[in-house]
């Protein structure tokens, strides 16, 4: 059976990941990520393969192979003279609106490294969207191989505007005026345009190190807008000297490298230094997390909700191939991203209002919850936040947490605990439904308790297996 998505004919079990690129489209076929290239797309891919840049950048690009014709997926029309590439699958595909500062910074620096190495070989990146590179175990990799194309001689970097709007400007705004970029990039995936950036930066845009980037972008942007309105096609080859272009990449890299996160201090930033447990209780919680996950077969993907700076995320990472640590507080997620082992993916998201499906007909980007396909979930000391601050009924929270994966480790904190009483008073909320019995009844309706550990008199951890 086939169904029409984006105007293509797509078999059941298959979905389209990208369709805007005239050089080809990406489909996910039974879990395999395939890129169907047109004849033009194939010519660009062949030019890259034949260039010395290919071997030099191999460890920066997602492992990719050309599929022999006999393995081409059935029912997919491959254009004449086109080919099919198969990419290694990224365990969880994520977007810049879900990344902390240091992740976006690494993505920006990788783009500059790639475009510099490509430019030397008369190639370039035609696109520069942050999500074209993805954090995978072993470092960041370029996944959008179709963005590598031959460079028209004398042209400026085709992706420069996009690079500025979606990477450089968000980093600058966070670093220089403390504006968190995640909510903005979630609302407007095209990023910050240069005029808005100049306004928001105010006099700071006049700093010599920014002047050429922000000012030049602004002038170039206005010029191409005016030419567009006058029906004139802007030239993409303006005779720029390659050495000057390479020097621009170096200046941009130095600028990005010097930026530090500067979002407003949050209540959670120092949470791990002032835990509401005694040292012995913290030690017993650590030991319990290790023992409960260690007693199970290794997990493929484990998601940790309310990960904070990752004390327990890091412990769980010993027992899973990939751990996705999610927290709504961008500054603690940044700490996690910088300190965690390589198999931890640190994401900024409010699970009470998670990133939705977006893009063309809301089908281009799946919602975060649909993208994370987890075998195991962990939610320690977070339920009371969802109930008292988020206003979500306890039964609904249990329903959500136990629905994420077949197995979950959940810490429940009794209403008598000081931190729960504090939260209830802070938000002026009375929740008669918030009791350990309601929690246990809700769990019993959804699964069974496989293990239990006492952290303190008012805190308990439960390992829960979901009903099939």
Ligand X SMILES: C[S@@+](CC[C@H](N)C(=O)[O-])C[C@H]1O[C@@H](n2cnc3c(N)ncnc32)[C@H](O)[C@@H]1O
Task: Check binding of 268 to ligand X (CB under 6 A).
Answer: yes
Instruction: Give me the least distance between CB of 309 and ligand X, in Å please.
Output: 8
Q: Which is nearer to ligand X, 84 or 336 (CB)?
A: 336
Within 8 A by CB and 6+ apart from 240, the residues are: 154, 155, 156
- Span near ligand X by CB under 6 A; candidates 22-30, 99-107, 228-236, 308-316: 308-316
> What's the rounded Cα separation, in Å, for the pair 145 and 49?
11
Task: Check binding of 248 to ligand X (CB under 6 A).
Answer: no
Instruction: Give me the least distance between CB of 381 and ligand X, in Å please.
Output: 4
Task: Check binding of 388 to ligand X (CB under 6 A).
Answer: no
Q: Which residue has the tokens 């019995």?
A: 437
Instruction: Give me the least distance between CB of 392 and ligand X, in Å please.
Output: 9
Q: Which is nearer to ligand X, 169 or 312 (CB)?
A: 312
Looking only at the bridges linking them, the beta strands covering 299-305 and 320-327 are: parallel
Task: Check binding of 308 to ligand X (CB under 6 A).
Answer: yes
Q: Which residue has the tokens 């950036």?
A: 197
> Restricting to residues 339-358, which ones interact with ligand X according to CB under 6 A?
350-352
Using CB under 6 A, which of 62, 380, 398, 405 touches ligand X? 380
> What's the rounded Cα separation, in Å, for the pair 13 and 73?
12
> Restricting to residues 312-331, which ones interact with ligand X according to CB under 6 A?
312, 326-329
Instruction: Give me the least distance between CB of 366 and ligand X, in Å please.
Output: 19
Instruction: Give me the least distance between CB of 270 and ligand X, in Å please.
Output: 11
410: left (phi over 0), alpha (psi -120 to 50) or beta: beta
Task: Check binding of 423 to ligand X (CB under 6 A).
Answer: no
Residue number of the CB closest to ligand X reads 306
Looking only at the bridges linking them, the beta strands covering 123-125 and 83-87 are: unpaired
Q: Which residue has the tokens 């492992």?
A: 63
Using CB under 6 A, which of 365, 385, 431, 453 touches ligand X? 385
Instruction: Give me the least distance between CB of 399 and ligand X, in Å please.
Output: 15
- Span near ligand X by CB under 6 A; candidates 198-206, 317-325, 380-388, 452-460: 380-388
**DSSP annotation of 230:** T
The CA dihedral of 113, 151, 154, 159, to the nearest 10 degrees, is -60
> Which helix (H) or strand (E) segment is 102 a member of?
helix 101-120
Question: Strand pairing partners for 411?
Answer: 461
Q: Which is nearer to ligand X, 174 or 329 (CB)?
A: 329
**DSSP annotation of 221:** H
> What's the rounded Cα separation, in Å, for the pair 459 and 451?
14
> What's the rounded Cα separation, in Å, for the pair 318 and 293?
9
- Cα-only R_g, the chain: 24
Using CB under 6 A, which of 382, 383, 407, 455 touches ligand X? 382
Instruction: Give me the least distance between CB of 434 and ligand X, in Å please.
Output: 15
Task: Check binding of 400 to ligand X (CB under 6 A).
Answer: no
Phi, psi of 461 (to 5 degrees): -110, 140
- Span near ligand X by CB under 6 A; candidates 160-168, 187-195, 383-391, 445-453: 383-391
Which residues contact ligand X (rule: CB under 6 A)? Answer: 268, 271, 306-308, 311-312, 326-329, 332, 350-352, 380-382, 385-386, 390
């Amino acid at each position: 059976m086939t169904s029409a998505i984006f105007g293509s004919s797509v078999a059941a079990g298959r979905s389209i990941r990208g369709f805007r690129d005239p050089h080809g489209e990406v489909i996910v076929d039974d879990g395999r990520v395939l890129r169907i290239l047109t004849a033009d797309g194939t010519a660009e891919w062949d030019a890259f393969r034949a260039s010395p840049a290919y071997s030099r950048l191999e460890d920066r690009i997602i492992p990719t192979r050309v599929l022999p014709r006999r393995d081409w997926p059935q029912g997919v029309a491959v254009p004449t003279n086109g080919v099919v590439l198969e990419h290694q699958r990224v365990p969880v595909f994520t977007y810049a609106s879900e990344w902390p500062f240091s992740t976006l910074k690494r993505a920006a620096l990788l783009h500059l490294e790639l475009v510099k190495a490509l430019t030397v070989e008369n190639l370039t990146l035609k696109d520069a969207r942050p999500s074209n590179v993805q954090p995978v175990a072993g470092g960041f990799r370029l996944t959008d191989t179709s963005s590598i194309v031959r460079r028209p001689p004398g042209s400026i970097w085709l992706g420069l505007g996009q690079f500025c709007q979606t990477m450089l400007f968000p980093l600058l705004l966070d670093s220089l005026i403390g504006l968190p970029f995640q909510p903005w990039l979630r609302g407007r995936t095209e990023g910050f345009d240069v005029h808005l950036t100049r306004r928001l930066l105010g006099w700071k845009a006049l700093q010599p190190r920014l002047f050429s980037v922000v000012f030049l972008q602004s002038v170039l942007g206005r010029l191409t807008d005016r030419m567009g309105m006058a029906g004139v096609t802007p030239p993409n080859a303006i005779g720029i000297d390659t050495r000057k272009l390479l020097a621009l990449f170096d200046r941009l890299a130095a600028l990005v490298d010097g930026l530090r996160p500067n979002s407003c201090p949050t209540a959670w930033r120092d949470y791990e230094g002032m835990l509401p447990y005694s040292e012995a209780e913290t030690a017993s919680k650590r030991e319990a997390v290790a023992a409960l996950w260690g007693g199970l077969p290794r997990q493929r993907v484990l998601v940790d909700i309310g990960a904070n700076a990752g004390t327990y995320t890091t412990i769980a990472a010993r027992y899973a191939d990939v751990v996705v640590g999610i927290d709504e507080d961008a500054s603690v997620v940044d700490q996690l991203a910088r300190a965690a082992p390589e198999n931890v993916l640190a994401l900024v998201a409010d699970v009470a209002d998670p990133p939705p499906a977006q893009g063309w007909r809301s089908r281009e980007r799946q919602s975060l919850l649909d993208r994370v396909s987890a075998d195991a979930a962990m939610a320690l000391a977070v339920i009371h936040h969802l109930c008292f601050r988020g206003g979500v009924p306890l039964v609904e929270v249990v329903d959500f947490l136990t629905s994420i994966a077949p197995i979950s480790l959940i810490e429940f904190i009794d209403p008598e605990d000081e931190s729960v009483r504090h939260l209830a008073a802070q938000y002026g909320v009375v929740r008669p439904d918030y009791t350990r019995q309601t929690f246990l009844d809700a769990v019993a309706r959804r699964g069974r308790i496989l293990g239990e550990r006492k952290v303190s008199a008012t805190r308990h951890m439960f390992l829960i297996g979901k009903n099939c």
